[in-house]
Structure 1
């Protein structure tokens, strides 16, 4: 929903008014040595604009660095599935993607932070041959991340069949993720797992896998809002959540291994607070862990437009961080 339509909706007008004080001063933080700067730096996750890219097609994914700069960011997190790569010639396609994005990011003064990898096979698959294929496909993105000057790729830790038994999933995860991390270490690229559904959203179980691998470049990307471990119908996405892991406990468990943090938002109240996540409490967990890296903004709501949701998330992060000082 565009901002104009949003403001016409009388049921949400008070929300827009309530957010106004936060949306009006978003430019004061520009990732400089400002006295008001929080303990972290910001980046923009490309998924925050996936509707503009995939649905309305008003944003070319290659123009993401330019859009991020227009929104006041100096660093970005790419999403692999938002780019079309010909599987018959994937290496050439990814190399061209790197070339174009390097030019676009350089032209706009943007730092490339990481690439979120999706739909490239299951690293925790039950069959070794399937894990081998997933590692090969993910390895191309390790090379892409290196070429873009990123510090990491974000991966999922799915394994159809293996996820029915934690002991089996732990074993297959340690193998697939561990071998990929060994490959990535040669390029100084971190391989980081996001809590993204199923057993990966159980903070305690995911950290067991990371500890078992025991590699410095193999870690986590704690996401504030992805802690559903069981959905209706056994689906991975889309259906109602039946069982959710405690999000604050989960982030606390994942932070010691974090090479990035994802600030997820869905909706905001009239005061600009996220309706399902206590951001002050969450940021305190992040700060207490000694984290001083990037926090990526990932808005996934429907009430605000994507751009307004990004701005509201940024404002909330800065407001919550200020309360910790």
Structure 2
């Protein structure tokens, strides 16, 4: 069946939703599917944020939903089951659901447990201890790693020293259960890739690395009006670190990659990031691990009602097709 790509994307932009659109964006539309990818594809649970926060999707159904979209690797977000970190029944059920779907539990991305780069030692230690339960949860799920944030206020060298101290403690705790600790360029000073690469060099451990994210390079952002996701979604980036330079700097330490997307051109490419350039950088680095889809357009659609954003499922599928195309062309 012939498919008019422009017609498709136009239809998507005016609000087509659900798996009907997802099914209508086959990988064969974009690239030679006979060529093997040099990486494996996973998905960030945050790609379904609007579904979890409106309770249209249960966190326990994450694996099944990813399987429907043809994705086997799972990046869990602690925020969607924050009160379940020590709930063994829940964790065992989550593990069983993923096994039943034939999925691989890749990592837990941990947020909201304190500032690992805080210059106050007592505050920093509390943050470190707040992460311990997630290392335990990762071990229960069979995840080989957790993702943490390393932000902090103060001179960059001082924050780096504090972050190295915290990461050392987490690596020591995690090593007892064979859990690695990785850091995403995510918030605050960690969005400066040169700074984060410097932290990795100081840590100098095979059990620590980066989660290189295409989209998190804002080094100066307006303050949110409210301390919640709605407030943050209204903020604006005032200064951005060069994302291609940043990914190049982070890939030598990468134990994972986030292919972040928000909306697409009529040709099916990402409107903000050159995925072809990104995947060339990734391939040239020698990386052959998991690349996680992190589609945020569904969440933006929920808050803005802007028709340029696809819903969660259509956006994930469009991102997956682009990842496959760019990966094969790298």
Give the alignment's TM-score, normalised by structure 2: 0.85
1:248 maps to 244
Q: In 1, distance between residues paired with 2:275 and 2:290?
A: 16
- Displacement of 1:8: 12
| Post-superposition offset of 1:148 | 1.2
What does 1:17-166 align with in structure 2 at a 5 Å threshold?
A: 23-26=24-27, 35-55=34-54, 57-85=55-83, 91=86, 93=87, 95-159=88-152, 163-166=153-156
Residues 24-60 of structure 1 show CA distances to partners (whole Å, capped at 9, x for unaligned) of 32499xxxxx8433111001110000100102x1100
Partner of 2:305: none
Counterpart residue number, 1:304: 310
Do 1:262 and 1:298's aligned partners in 2 also have CA atoms closer than 8 Å? yes
| Post-superposition offset of 1:233 | 3.5
Work out whether residues 191 and 218 of structure 2, in 8 Å CA contact, stay in contact via their aligned partners in 1.
Answer: yes
SS at match of 1:222: strand
* Superimposed CA distance per residue, residues 110-138 of structure 1 (whole angstroms, 9 cap, x where no aligned partner): 11011100001111122111111111111
Deviations along 1:232-272, whole A, 9 cap, x unmatched?
A: 24889441111100000111000010111000001100000
Whole-Å Cα distance in 2 between the matches of residues 23 and 284 of structure 1?
Answer: 27
1:280 to 276, 283, 290: 276
CA displacement at 1:9 relative to structure 2: 8.3
Moved more, 227-236 or 171-180: 227-236
Q: Could you tell me the TM-score, scaled by structure 1's length?
A: 0.86
Query: CA separation in 2, counterparts of 1:133 and 1:107?
Result: 37
1:186 is matched with which residue?
Answer: 176
Alpha carbons of structure 1 residues 107 and 199: separation in structure 2 relative to 1, 3 Å: same
Contact 2:117 2:166 in 1 (8 A): yes
Return 5+ residue gaps in structure 2 as ranges. Answer: 1-7, 302-308
SS of residue paired to 2:213: coil
Map 1:204-283 → 2, pairs under 5 A: 204-233=194-223, 237-238=232-233, 239-283=235-279
Q: Determine if contact 2:119/2:154 at 8 Å carries over to the other structure.
A: no
CA distance in 1, matches of 2:244, 2:266: 23
Q: Which of 306, 315, 319 is matched with 1:313 structurally?
A: 319
Distance 1:71 1:47 in 2: 15
Matches of 1:147 and 1:319, distance apart in 2 = 35
Stretches of structure 1 that go unaligned for 5 or more consecutive residues are 1-6, 29-33
Indicate if the aligned counterparts of 1:178 and 1:213 stay in contact, CA closer than 8 A: yes
Choose the corresponding residue for 2:165, options 175, 179, 184.
175
| CA distance 1:27–1:51, shift in 2 (3 Å) | farther
